Structure 1
Amino acid sequence: MAASDVLNGFRQRILDREQLIGFWNCLTGSVTMEIAGLAGYDWLLLDSEHSPTSLPLLMAQLQTLNGSTAATVGRPAENNPVMIKQLLDIGFYNLLIPFIESADDARKAVSATRYPPHGIRGVAGAHRSNRYGSIANYNQVINDSICVLLQIESVKGIEAFDDILAVEGVDGIFIGPSDLSAALGHLGNPNHPDVQRVIRDLHDRAQAAGKATGILAPIQADAKRYLEWGFNFVAVGTDLGVFKQAVFGLRDAFR
């Protein structure tokens, strides 16, 4: 198995700051995941922060997506080295790590994704990520194949933003609009002008630092605006939201 077989094409596209359209998955079914995988998105987020998804289920969902062309991005419940290690071992190459508030938080996240001496990731002989030990050079190339995306969603994260951007190994910044709007005193209203100004400012500063920016925008008008601003990886919908909208819309059509 050549090194090129484990290099992460999605990470390179993030580093190149391409515009990539994604879809957010928080339902626990494999069928909905399989359908999302057939839709042709650039990337799919598999969430374990705001969903009841367990580690075995995440692995099963990854297996369901084996035939999909979409890159998979895993979100652990917290910036926890053990959780991050588990997600890496079951086959995630791309991680979106929530609630980063300092450069130390950013360094902790990056370190958890790297084998020593560059980090603290635990070494296992055979797991799904190294195809159960069949990738002979996995240990030598995997550190450069993991994409680290950090989520900014608090006032502390805003205050430490430039320091976070400067941490080596941070590939991109994701802005959490719901938590960010709550932190700024506008719970449930990410489109408030004050919140939008902060989102635009964070995006511009990240771009100036050479970092890709991402956001979740399940309302089409919002997604188009963020793409026009130059955001790089935008999730334009969620499985729960699309299902709810379709079911309620169908009901309303027959009332």
Structure 2
Amino acid sequence: MEAQSLRTRLSSGDVVIGSFQSIDSPMVSEIMARAGMDFVLVDQEHGPLSARETMTCCMAAQQAGAASVVRVRENAESEIQRALDVGADAVEIPQVATLEDARAAVAAARFDPIGERGLNPYVRAGGYDGGPEYTNRQNEEVVVIVHIEGEKGVVNLDDILDTAGIDVLFLGPYDLSQSIGIPGQVRDPRVEELMEEVCERAAKAGKVVGTYADDPEMAYRWIDVGAQYVAISVDAPVLLGAYTELVDAFE
């Protein structure tokens, strides 16, 4: 899947499903894509992946038919630029809680006239030779996803929704639960009410919402509310669960 396909599907109202990758191997990216995931979410924030490993994971996911998404370590220009320069189809930016955060994310992820992303056309994203349409194509195709992960982000939601250049608001249920004093209780009504509020306000503003789900049941819970971009589980616990099930069969 190409970035334009991902962005077009989201714009047309389709639901896309992916998973977080924390294991630093392109084989994992390829396996996720071959399994039929719409996107592979390479996690630099909570995983050990370097820029080099991220690039090979993006290559593997794309070659096997999935969009490559990179969650960067922080809302920093150098982090966002590196993720996009190595060829990610989309970038996820954590801890966006204010208008200033949202503007900084867009500025780093978009080229002029939308943003101020550093320009080197001779990178993988530019096919190593750039071309006259490189910056326009990147502005049109790259999907920019910002994380709403705390009460402060919900309070400032209108400012974030009004920020041009953002494609998806991603709700982080675990960080949201921690921000209201109930860490890890992602199915608590207080967390769900916050998430429902964001989904409702985003829908009125015509914005796409994404979120994380531990399992398909939780995923359908948020798809029914309006989430279109859903990351289900993480590679490590999926692998652990599958092997545990195999071992348990011999006990």
Provide Cα deviations, 1:215-238, integer angstroms capped at 9, x if missing partner: 110222211211122211111222
Partner of 1:133: 129
**Aligned partner (choices 33, 45, 52) of residue 56 of structure 1:** 52
Partner of 2:116: 120
RMSD of the alignment, in Å? 1.6
**Aligned partner (choices 3, 10, 28) of residue 6 of structure 2:** 10
Provide Cα deviations, 1:178-218, integer angstroms capped at 9, x if missing partner: 11101111111110111111111111111111011111102
Q: Whole-Å Cα distance in 1 between the matches of residues 102 and 229 of structure 2? A: 19
Tell me the number of residue pairs that the alignment of Structure 1 and Structure 2 aligns. Answer: 250
SS of 2:230's partner is strand
Partner of 2:171: 175
2:56 paired with 1:87? no
2:206 paired with 1:204? no
Q: Whole-Å Cα distance in 2 between the matches of residues 14 and 106 of structure 1? A: 20
Give the Å deviation of 1:93: 2.6
Gaps of at least 5 residues in structure 2 are none
Q: Which amino acid aligns with 2:43?
A: D
Q: Which amino acid aligns with 2:17?
A: I
The answer to which structure, 1 or 2, has the higher relative contact order (CA under 8 A, 6+ apart) is 1
SS of 1:196's partner is helix
Q: Whole-Å Cα distance in 1 between the matches of residues 130 and 158 of structure 2? A: 40
Contact 1:7 1:144 in 2 (8 A): no
In the superposition, relative to structure 1, how do residues 243 and 132 fare at CA in structure 2: closer, same or farther (>3 Å)? same
Contact 1:11 1:94 in 2 (8 A): no
In the superposition, relative to structure 1, how do residues 96 and 110 fare at CA in structure 2: closer, same or farther (>3 Å)? same
Q: Whole-Å Cα distance in 2 between the matches of residues 19 and 30 of structure 1? A: 25
Q: Whole-Å Cα distance in 1 between the matches of residues 239 and 136 of structure 2? A: 42
Contact 1:17 1:211 in 2 (8 A): no
SS of 1:107's partner is helix
Give the Å deviation of 1:28: 0.8
SS of 1:8's partner is helix
**Aligned partner (choices 68, 74, 80) of residue 70 of structure 2:** 74
Q: Whole-Å Cα distance in 2 between the matches of residues 170 and 125 of structure 1? A: 23
Q: Whole-Å Cα distance in 2 between the matches of residues 89 and 64 of structure 1? A: 16
**Aligned partner (choices 36, 40, 43) of residue 39 of structure 2:** 43
**Aligned partner (choices 128, 150, 155) of residue 151 of structure 2:** 155
